[in-house]
Amino acid sequence: MCIIMGNIKKLLFVFVALMLTTTVHAQTHKYYDTKHEVGVSVGVGANTEIIGAIGDITEIIATNVVLPVLTAGWSLENQKYSYGDATYYPTISVEYYYHVNKVIGLGGFVAYNGMSRDMFVTVKNDNDNTRKTEKSGVAKRHNLSIIPTAKFDWLRKKNFGMYSKLGVGVSFLNESQKDDAAGGTDYSDTDMVFNFQCSLLGLEVGSQTIRGFAEVGVGEQGMLSAGLRYKF
C-alpha cells in the first residue's frame, strides 16, 4: 500500500507540472472542432477488481442434491463448498463526453468486470472411508459501474491531446453460486457501493476523429487503461 501511495504521489506531481505547462496552450491553439466523443477501453486494477481479489466468496452450505451427480455410495464429508482458483475478466468501459467549452467535457462511463471460480465438494466412500473432491458448480462475481465524469482537456491539438478525468458514481456487485445439478444451490446477492474515477494523466494520439488513448490513475477504469476514441 505504501508503494502504491508513493507512486500515486509521484504521478500527481507529474500531473501538476504538466498541467501548469500545458494550460496556456490549451487556451491559445485553434483546434476545437469536435464536440462529442465516444470511447471504449480496457483497464487493470479497477476498484471493484481489487475488492473482488481481497474479498472471500460467501461460504455456502452444500445441499444433498449434488449427490446424484456423484458415484453411488458416496456422501458429503464437509457441508461447505471449497473453491478453485479465480479467473478474472478485465474491466471494460464505454464512455461518452460532450464538450461544453474549450477545456471541460461532461459525460461519464459504464464499466464491467468479473470473476469466476469452480465450486467443489469433498465426498467420502461409506464403505472404505476413502475421499475425493468433485466439481459441483460455479461461483461468479459480476461488477457493473455507472460513473458520471468530467474530462479536462489541458492540451487539445489536431492530432494529440492531454487530459485528466474526475468522476463519482455507484457500482453494483453481484455474487452468484449455482450447482450443476438441477435443484441444487442457486445463491445470488447484490450490493451497491459508491465508487469513483480519477485519471491523473491521459494521452491521446491519432486523427481528428479516431484516436488511441492511455490513462494512468486510480478508480473504476483501472490504474492503467487503454482504448480507442471516436470524436465528432
pLDDT of res. 13: 53
With beta carbons less than 8 A apart as the criterion, state whether 164 and 124 touch. Answer: no
Characterize 203-225 residue by residue with b for buried, 16 or more Cβ atoms within 10 angstroms of its Cβ, and e for exposed. bbebeeeebebbbbbbbbbbbeb
Q: What's the pLDDT band for 24 if we cut at 50, 70, 90?
A: very low
Mean pLDDT throughout 35-57?
87
Give the C-alpha distances (Å, rounded to integers) separating 187 from 49, 61, 179: 21, 11, 9
Mean pLDDT estimate for the chain: 83
For residue range 178-217, list pLDDT tens digits in order: 988 777 788 899 999 999 999 999 999 999 899 999 999 9
Alpha-carbon span 42 to 116, nearest angstrom: 19
For the cut 50, the answer to whether the pLDDT of residue 55 exceeds it is yes
Alpha-carbon span 17 to 161, nearest angstrom: 16
For residue range 155-180, list pLDDT tens digits in order: 988 899 999 999 999 999 999 999 88
Grid cell of 145 as nine digits = 459501474
DSSP letter string, 106-171: EEEEEEEEEEEEEEEEEEEETTT--EEEEEEEEEEEEEEEEEEEEEEEEEE-SSEEEEEEEEEEEE
With beta carbons less than 8 A apart as the criterion, state whether 192 and 172 touch. Answer: yes
Alpha-carbon span 215 to 223, nearest angstrom: 8
Grid cell of 139 as nine digits = 461461483
